[in-house]
Amino acid sequence: MRETGGGLISKGLKPQFRDGAPLYFQKFQKYGQDYGVLPESISGTGPFKVTGWVRNDRIELARNPDYKWGPAFYKNQGPARVETVIIKTITEEAARSAALERGEIDMDISLSEKDAPRLGRTKGLRVMVQPKNTAHHIGFNHDKPLFKDQRVRLALMYAIDQKAIVEAVYNGYAQPSVGLWSTSVEGHTPPAEMAKIAPSYNPGRAKQLLGEAGWKPGSDGIRVKDGQRLSFTAYGYSEQQANLLTVVQQQWREVGAESQIRQLEYAAWQKAVTAGEQDVSYTDGTHSTADLSYWWVCKSIPYPNTLKRCDEATDKYFEITQTTLDPKKRIQAFQDMEKDFMRRAALIPMPHTLWVVGASDRVADLELNPIHGYFKLLDARKTK
């Protein structure tokens, strides 16, 4: 990031209409498939403008001098204090940590939890930790014959030890989930109430359910039914997800289920799960309201409804949340949906993660948002 020393005079908002048509529509007509890809094709109202984009390498942003409508929770409503921002793509956690430590980058917005304690003690660096509103989950593909049996889904849910995942994958920088929604989000079921409903770690119960479903232990410990092994593939799109699925893989194996892990780049993952290739898939979800549940209504198949689950009750609950004028009924419908998901094991909630951001001491006044992390960077400035 680079900060300028002089003040700025706002020139006012640029018109969003030209010749009677929205500017974004004109740009879409002009650029076609390149709309939103070429920097000059992008229309927006944020504090920064896209000036460069090298796919899988970097995005270059320049301050929008006309921006002056920032959220009230910022001291500075705009324009931003920094002149340029370069967002680099560094997929490996270790490489990002090394780049931050060497001073090659000013911030790591997704700092490795394993490196966080060490980097927090490193001179010239600091680590910021803040709760994140998450709805991370492992979703079953309900079109697959194996997962049409609720007993199998429940068994795989009982087999997962979230506390072990928090320690092994997140180094303690996460919290086990009880239900799906973050407890800071309107519409969540109180944890004490949800704990009476949601299956918790119980490998004995998992084995019992699989036995009832006809899956018997094979010679190598993997269960078999009608000559088929209890085997399936789990899809993910990040290094951290692959690490988590590796822990889950071992936990499932302990109850007789075999899983393979397939890690894809995000666009490839999205294409695969839209096509329904996955048996199960891991999805990171960050949300401000429980309206995120639109992901799982019938109309959202094939994407974002990667569960491939069209359920009358889910659609009914969601319709209530979108049509009622009674706040209590809206909250109750969200809670009823969440409880129903847990009872029938529509998906498996995963630990609620935290924002773990590493920053150089050169960056001051950096505020984190529980949904967007480094959201807008309006207060942030570079001191040297």
Q: Are 252 and 243 in contact (CB under 8 A)?
A: no
Q: Which two tokens stand for residue 315?
A: 């659609």
Residues of the chain with CATH 3.40.190.10: 2-132+356-382
Residues of the chain with CATH 3.10.105.10: 137-350
> What angle, rounded to 10 degrees, do the helices at 312-323 and 327-343 form?
160
| HSE toward the beta carbon, residue 224, CA cutoff 13 A | 8
Whole-angstrom CA distances from 293 to 135, 180, 325 are 10, 10, 18
| Mean pLDDT of the region 253-271 | 96
Predicted confidence (pLDDT) per residue in 70-101, tens digit: 988 889 998 999 999 999 999 899 999 999 99
Whole-angstrom CA distances from 189 to 36, 129, 178 are 39, 25, 9
Q: Which pLDDT score is estimated for 254?
A: 98
Distance from chain centroid for Cα 293: 14
* CATH number of 2-132+356-382, picked from 3.10.290.10, 3.40.640.10, 3.40.190.10, 3.40.50.720: 3.40.190.10
CA-CA distance, 191 to 383, in Å (whole number)?
Answer: 43
E-strand spans in 107-190? 107-108, 125-131, 137-140, 174-175
Q: Are 179 and 191 in contact (CB under 8 A)?
A: yes
pTM exceeds 0.95, yes or no: no
Q: Which pLDDT score is estimated for 25?
A: 65
CATH code linked to domain 137-350: 3.10.105.10
Q: Are 225 and 215 in contact (CB under 8 A)?
A: yes
Query: How many CB atoms sit inside 10 A of residue 100's CB?
Result: 24
